[in-house]
């Protein structure tokens, strides 16, 4: 049910009713949000945990196989803290913009537009560019997730079919998955998709239980090779996979928006920080145990390492396959919503229904084409995390904060300005290096 609420509120601005004589300093955007059914602290926490325990979680052993146990753990913790801080920067910057404009809430792209308009004079003609940039990276992120779902489903089904003597390539399975997923993507009523989401959640819970069963059934063996990093070139892909697993900036902002007490979301001991601590702990645990179990043979999803000849392992693979298969139309709906919101007014009223279906088919077909061209799961995750999330969850939040504090609110010796510039620089470097190394792995071709 949360996904329906997320889609309904993702693209709306909440306008505040300002009381007479109320100054900007006295104005509290949180008090002027009017959410029909806000979520409690515990409900938001459950949504947060559920939203981050998916395909990215299953890639953690592969990520640790690149960095080793020591560097992988340190890297995961540092990236987790850094990513958490950047999202908190974004939420706080949006809060300050809402106070300035006296609104209860502004969507991410709208916030970026307003921040650029209030920033240096030399940037004020670029507000459309940066606002569209936010939508572009969020759209590419959603389309990329759909492509990853294609690859994940195909690779896991392939292993089960291989055991029963039905050999088929990953690409052919992706092609067979396309028609049913395309039909599901044409469903317009989200209420019809709600049962699919419920089944998907139960499948994820069952699959995680079965995966951990295999990881802890034998005694772990630690040797020096598992403590060492494979090479410097693995760092960008590790960062990309970790960001893919940790960050879902659109969902996180929607959770903060829908909270009953949004002030409890941020802060050192706020809900987001506590949730990220739990998530990072789970990721590190799965990463370490998965790497100890399968070593350098860790696949892009830990389900691909499970024994092919055991029924419990086959059930684990098929439950995660079912979960992501049923989640595909929901993820695809978000991508369609971004495109349709920006393009619907360009079509005449008479042809809008036809244009709607054409866009839905196009949005469902693009990730299919991406998956067929490069069915390499871990490289796909690294590319998506490096390209989209370094900008959407690192560069843009720092840029927005820098513009919000323009021109004389940067603190002692302009420390906030230099801090944001360093964050932006890190994000750009991580993006370029991560995209390059992940693209090389994708061009190397599929493993199967």
Q: pLDDT tens for residues 30-77?
A: 777 777 777 788 877 877 776 666 667 888 888 898 888 899 999 999
Candidate ranges 24-33, 69-78, 209-218, 428-437; pick with highest mean pLDDT: 69-78
In this predicted model, which residue has the larger pLDDT, 438 or 368? 368
pLDDT digits (tens, 9 = 90+) for 252-277: 877 787 788 888 888 878 888 898 89
Average pLDDT, the chain: 80
Asked whether residue 185 is domain-assigned, the answer is: yes
- The reported pLDDT for the residue numbered 25 is 63
Residue 72 lies in a domain: yes
In-domain check, residue 448? no
DSSP tag of 72: H
Q: Is residue 334 part of a domain?
A: yes
| pLDDT digit string, tens, across residues 328-365 | 777 777 788 778 877 878 888 888 888 888 888 888 88
Residue 306 lies in a domain: yes
Phi, psi of 41 (to 5 degrees): -60, -50
Split into its structural domains, the chain has a count of: 1
CATH of the domain at 198: 1.20.1740
Domain-embedded: residue 43: yes
Work out the pLDDT band at 398, boundaries 50, 70, 90: very high
Is residue 421 predicted with pLDDT exceeding 90?
yes
| Residue pair 111/94 in contact by the 8 Å Cβ criterion | yes
Residue at 221 is within a domain: yes
Q: What is the pLDDT of residue 209?
A: 83
Q: Which domain holds residue 182?
A: 2-443
Angle between helices 415-443 and 234-246 (to 10 degrees): 110
Q: Say which residues have a Cβ less than 8 Å from residue 79's Cβ, sequence separation at least 6.
A: 239, 242, 243, 246
* pLDDT for position 230: 79
pTM to 2 decimals?
0.80
User: Between residues 16 and 156, which one has the greater pLDDT?
Assistant: 156
Q: Quick check: is 30 in a domain? A: yes
């Amino acid at each position: 049910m949360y996904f329906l609420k997320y889609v309904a509120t993702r693209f709306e601005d909440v306008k505040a009713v300002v009381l007479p004589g109320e100054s900007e300093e006295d104005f509290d955007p949180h008090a002027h949000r009017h959410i029909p059914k806000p979520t409690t602290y515990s409900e938001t926490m459950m949504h947060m945990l559920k939203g981050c325990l998916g395909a990215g979680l299953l890639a953690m052993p592969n990520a640790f196989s690149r960095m080793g146990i020591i560097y992988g753990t340190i890297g995961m913790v540092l990236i987790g803290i850094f990513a958490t801080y950047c999202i908190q920067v974004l939420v706080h910057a949006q809060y300050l913009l809402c106070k300035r404009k006296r609104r209860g809430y502004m969507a991410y792209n709208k916030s970026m537009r307003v921040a650029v308009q209030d920033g240096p004079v030399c940037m004020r003609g670029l507000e459309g560019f940066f606002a569209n940039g936010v939508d572009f990276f969020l759209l590419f992120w959603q389309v990329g997730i759909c492509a990853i779902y294609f690859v994940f489903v195909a690779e896991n089904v392939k292993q089960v079919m291989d055991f029963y003597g039905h050999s088929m390539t990953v690409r052919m399975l992706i092609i067979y998955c396309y028609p049913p997923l395309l039909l599901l993507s044409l469903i317009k009523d989200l209420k019809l998709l709600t049962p699919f989401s419920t089944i998907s959640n139960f499948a994820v819970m069952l699959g995680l239980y079965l995966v951990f069963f295999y990881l802890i059934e034998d005694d772990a063996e630690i040797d020096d090779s598992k403590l060492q990093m494979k090479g410097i070139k693995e760092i960008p892909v590790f960062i990309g996979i970790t960001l893919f697993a940790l960050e879902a900036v659109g969902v996180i902002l929607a959770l903060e928006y829908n909270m009953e007490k949004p002030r409890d979301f941020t802060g050192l001991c706020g809900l987001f920080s506590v949730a990220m601590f739990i998530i990072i702990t789970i990721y590190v645990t799965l990463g370490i145990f998965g790497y100890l179990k399968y070593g350098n043979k860790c696949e892009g999803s830990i389900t691909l390492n499970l024994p092919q000849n055991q029924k419990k392992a086959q059930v684990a693979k098929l439950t995660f396959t079912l979960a992501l298969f049923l989640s595909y139309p929901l993820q695809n709906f978000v991508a369609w919503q971004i495109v349709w919101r920006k393009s619907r007014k360009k079509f005449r009223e008479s042809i809008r229904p036809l244009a709607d279906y054409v866009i839905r088919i196009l949005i469902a077909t693009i990730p299919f084409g991406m998956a067929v061209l490069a069915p390499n799961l871990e490289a796909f995750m690294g590319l998506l995390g490096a390209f989209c999330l370094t900008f959407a969850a690192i560069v843009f939040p720092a840029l927005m904060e820098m513009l919000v504090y323009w021109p004389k609110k940067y603190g002692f010796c302009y420390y906030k300005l230099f801090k944001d510039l360093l964050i932006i620089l890190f994000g750009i470097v991580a993006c370029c290096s991560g995209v390059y190394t992940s693209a090389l792995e994708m061009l190397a071709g599929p493993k199967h």
